[in-house]
Amino acid sequence: MSNNKSFFVPIIITINVIVYLMWTVFQTSFPPNFMMNNFTVSWNALLEGRYWTLLSSAFSHEMLFHIFINMFVLNSFGSLLERVLGSISFIRFYILASVLSSLSHSVVSAYLINDPSIAALGASGAVAGVILVFSLLFPREKILLFGIIPLPALFGALAFIALDLWGLVSQTKGGGLPIGHGAHLGGAFTGIVYYFLVLRPKFKKQK
């Protein structure tokens, strides 16, 4: 069930870095709007048939701070989670969380915020799923909320969910920050469902 080292997390980080360089260093090497059309996701993009953006957008960042935070958190939680779940189970879950968080953003933008053109990118939704699974497996493990406040992992994860719910409600009223709360919540929900439907029964059976 477990491995001694993480295999897929370094690969995921490498792909994210490559796509970041495509956005920042090599963007002029591509046709106009190539990155926007292929590495961001929106409800309009899905209506236009660009379904691959459900996954490609989750490996895409155009801001240094954004990719640094996501990859730091992924390395911190994902490496341990991959060793616990096994590499194949981990990558299956990560891809599932990536796709469903992107879909969640698209649906939320179209039907709650009433703007199907809002484009999103980033691994935050998938990383939220990783954090939720980690927190449910190790609820008493200490994590730092905002990198400062020490909390049991489960409390910290629930605090992030509460903040995203608050942010999403603000966005539906025309306010809030330009953050993909819908993607975060979609990834978190995927992690919760995956834990209770897949992991918990499997661990109970092994015991």
- Average pLDDT taken over every residue of the chain: 92
3 state DSSP class of 16: helix
Question: pTM to 2 decimals?
Answer: 0.93
Residue 188 CB coordination number (10 Å): 28
Q: What is the pLDDT of residues 4-53, one digit of tens each?
A: 678 999 999 999 999 999 999 998 999 999 999 999 999 999 999 999 99
Mean pLDDT of all residues in 48-75: 97
Tokens of 76: 């911190």
Q: What is the pLDDT of residue 145?
A: 65
Q: What is the pLDDT of residue 124?
A: 97
Q: What is the pLDDT of residue 146?
A: 60
| Residue 119 φ/ψ region, left for φ over 0, alpha for ψ in the -120 to 50 degree band, beta for the rest | beta
> In percent, how much of the chain has pLDDT > 70?
95
| pLDDT greater at residue 204 or residue 154 | 154
Q: What is the pLDDT of residues 108-159, one digit of tens each?
A: 999 999 999 999 999 999 999 999 999 999 998 877 666 677 888 888 889 8
Q: Kindly indicate the confidence band of residue 207, based on its pLDDT and cuts at 50, 70 and 90.
A: low
| Residue 122 φ/ψ region, left for φ over 0, alpha for ψ in the -120 to 50 degree band, beta for the rest | left
Q: What is the pLDDT of residue 98?
A: 98
Separation CA 48–CA 89 (nearest Å): 32
Q: What is the pLDDT of residue 1?
A: 42
Tokens of 112: 């709650």
Lowest mean pLDDT among 48-62, 82-96, 117-131, 168-182: 168-182
